Amino acid sequence: MKKNHVHIIKMGGTIEFKDPGYEIMNQQMMKLDTSIDNYLKNMVKPHFSYSTESVCDKDSRDITTADLEKLAKTIEVSPHENILVTHGTFTMKDTAKFLDEYLSKNNVEKKIILTGSMIPIIGFSVSDAAFNLGYSIASFDSIQNGVYICMNGGIFDYEDVNKNTGLLRFE
């Protein structure tokens, strides 16, 4: 286990085109590899080590309690301290709360950041996805163990942030 290693656990959401409207458009017209794996490997070529795995591939409004339990157990058994969860923005705060309660109850001490985007990571030049992903990864060195949401250039305690759909940002 490397201290600076980032373990990315994917739940779906717009960041990888898991919004039903975007996914249909990608399948029919653009045929892009919109995965975070592809983005990091071919575009970023990072100077940090990372691993990825997928727990589910859903719009966040379709995530079930079983999905949340699987996510929590995946985090718990991961040998890595820095866990980045990519997630749809609609229920990101609910998932953060679930994880905080589960991990506190089970005495799991890790740094967990949930991030996502309003626009997919590949295929749109105005996407917020790459910035949110990069800012999240860079934030691990400055946070304590706990559960955070990272969006729009901010790292927030999940209890203190809300999605503003009018402004398309978390504040």
**Quick one: how far is CA 51 from the chain centroid?**
13
Residue 123's alpha-carbon distances to 13, 24, 50, 52, 79, in angstroms, are 15, 14, 23, 21, 33
- In a domain, residue 65? The reply is yes
Q: Name the DSSP class of 51.
A: E
| pLDDT exceeds cutoff 70 at 148 | yes
Instruction: List Cα–Cα distances, 118 to 52, 107, 111, 166, in angstroms.
Output: 21, 33, 23, 12
Which of 94, 50, 103, 114 has its CA nearest to residue 73?
103
Confidence (pLDDT) at 37: 76
Q: Structural domain tally of the chain?
A: 1
Whether the model clears a pTM of 0.85, i.e. scores above it, the answer is yes
49-91: pLDDT as tens digits:
999 999 998 989 999 999 999 999 999 999 999 999 999 999 9
Residue 112 structural domain: 6-170
- 105, pLDDT greater than 90: yes
Tell me whether residue 1 is in a domain.
no
Q: Containing H/E element for 82?
A: strand 82-86
| CATH for 41 | 3.40.50.1170
- In a domain? residue 20: yes
* pLDDT surpassing 60 at residue 45: yes
